[in-house]
A and B are shown apart, each in its own frame.
Chain A
């Protein structure tokens, strides 16, 4: 399916998610890179050595959930925009997502937006918490959004209302 539509299945997505215990402890990266391609900026970007690709640049990146601090340095560096940060430490009902978003106009903090899944279908409400767009992100803004916990494995994008 994935190779026909570009939409990863739930099973595939689950293999990339850290454990719920880890998510509840604080921010951690989800690296949704499923295909062997010659690419490795995620590994180079991580100041903690939490992502490893190894000698062969074609390997699929592995993120160590014990080492990852959720600092988010890798998010704007990934040319595939395939990395996001999830954080379940803020509340029992919601999770915070940090996702790369390269469209103008950018949303504003506090804005209510429509949460989308991996096929771009509207699935939930989401609230913009923060918009980060420093020069070091090189025009790949990173948006923090708050989403109800039940959408942890489905939420992946948003649309302004």
Chain B
């Protein structure tokens, strides 16, 4: 059985920043990544990010992944990344079982572990929602921006949150028609600057609308949408048909963290953080000492906060392992301050509420 000092599960912005920060302090790190490419959600994001300079604002997500990977490579003697390696089990003695290349299965024992596994997409129930042509927004992005495959010709987007609106914009950049973006909520959830980008391209954003059913025999041919009232009940007689070959579902993400639950970490369902999350300290440490969480796995936020949490978790995990840099407290405070800043505005209300009930 392989033994490592610090194991990081997931190579999104949270995992990469955790690795950089821990290696900077002197820890030896192994990162497990289940896909063939490090970077997590970042590698699919061709738009410029919000935030401040310390989180690479106005850089494109995919370029941020490149910047972080360059830093990781600078610590080549300290950080190893294992690709196509999925952590599938997490046991009491801090043993993680790994499936590599879908054929090798082995155990890794770690002194400390940071779970940075990100999120999974929620789905939506409606008749025929299993027809080919109905995708999650993540799948559409992966096809389009990772593999360069066109998912279809005409898309109806369900969900006007940041992801729905941004993926719609990327679809249009790829030359694919977006018929409309709909959302059951009475207001657009996305940052309005993103929504306005779509609006001025002539894409209607239909709030208080939902999908009634999908139509098709072998694959999607059309979708019927309808208006909903203030209690989200469909309003009869408001049905509209869209002839589309792609229905893209973008109704939110949930934290992906079953590994922590399996290990026996104290979990709690926190709606403001979009699902079940581990209870943790200010330093991102869970109820089991030496086990940390960072990024979307601890509650759905943004890459900017995932990076700050990653740096913080990496710093604190390394410190617990005995690698305490001279400026430890200064850096810790700096990351906490960044997180406070990012969560301070009105869009951070929900996150702050979620944080306050998930703190140990």
A interface list, Cβ under 8 A from B: 2-8, 32-41, 44-45, 56-58, 77-82, 102-104, 116-121, 138-140, 156-157
Report which residue of A38, A44, A77, A139 has the largest number of chain B beta carbons within 10 angstroms of its beta carbon.
A38
Q: How far is the CA of A46 from the CA of B155 in the complex (A)?
A: 38
Q: Is the CB of B50 within 8 A of A39?
A: yes
Of A56, A79, A118, A139, the residue contacting B345 (CB under 8 A) is A56
| B149 smallest CB distance to A (angstroms) | 18
Q: How far is the CA of A85 from the CA of B347 in the complex (A)?
A: 28
Extra contacts, 15 of them, besides A3-B192, A38-B50 (Cβ < 8 A), are A2-B192, A5-B188, A5-B207, A8-B196, A38-B345, A40-B52, A41-B52, A45-B58, A58-B344, A58-B347, A78-B58, A79-B47, A79-B49, A118-B200, A119-B199
Q: Is the CB of A38 within 8 A of B51?
A: yes
Of A5, A6, A8, A79, the residue contacting B58 (CB under 8 A) is A79
Nearest chain B residue, comparing its CB with the CB of A37: B191
Query: If A38-B304, A120-B200 touch, does A80 touch B345 (CB 8 Å cutoff)?
Result: no
Q: How far is the CA of A2 from the CA of B187 in the complex (A)?
A: 9
In this assembly, does B322 line the interface, its C-beta being within 8 Å of a C-beta of chain A? no
Query: If A7-B199, A57-B341, A58-B346 touch, does A40 touch B207 (CB 8 Å cutoff)?
Result: no
Q: Is the CB of B345 within 8 A of A77?
A: no
Q: Is the CB of B193 within 8 A of A116?
A: no
- Interface positions, chain B 168-200, Cβ under 8 Å from A, are 172-173, 186-188, 191-200
Report which residue of A2, A5, A33, A36 has the largest number of chain B beta carbons within 10 angstroms of its beta carbon.
A5
Interface of A is mostly: loop
In this assembly, does B205 line the interface, its C-beta being within 8 Å of a C-beta of chain A? yes
Q: Is the CB of B188 within 8 A of A6?
A: yes
Q: Is the CB of B58 within 8 A of A82?
A: no
Residues in B with CB closer than 8 Å to A33 are 193
Q: How far is the CA of A121 from the CA of B48 in the complex (A)?
A: 26
Q: How far is the CA of A8 from the CA of B200 in the complex (A)?
A: 10
Report which residue of B53, B202, B304 has the largest number of chain A beta carbons within 10 angstroms of its beta carbon.
B202
Residues in B with CB closer than 8 Å to A36 are 345-347
28 contacts between A and B (CB under 8 A): A4-B205, A6-B188, A6-B196, A6-B205, A36-B345, A36-B347, A37-B345, A38-B304, A39-B52, A39-B57, A40-B52, A44-B53, A45-B58, A57-B52, A57-B344, A58-B344, A78-B193, A79-B58, A80-B50, A80-B193, A116-B200, A117-B200, A120-B199, A120-B200, A120-B202, A138-B48, A138-B59, A138-B60
- Please give me the 5 A-B residue pairs with the lowest Cβ-Cβ distance, nearest first: A120-B202, A80-B193, A58-B345, A6-B195, A79-B48
| B24 smallest CB distance to A (angstroms) | 25
Q: Is the CB of A57 within 8 A of B202?
A: no
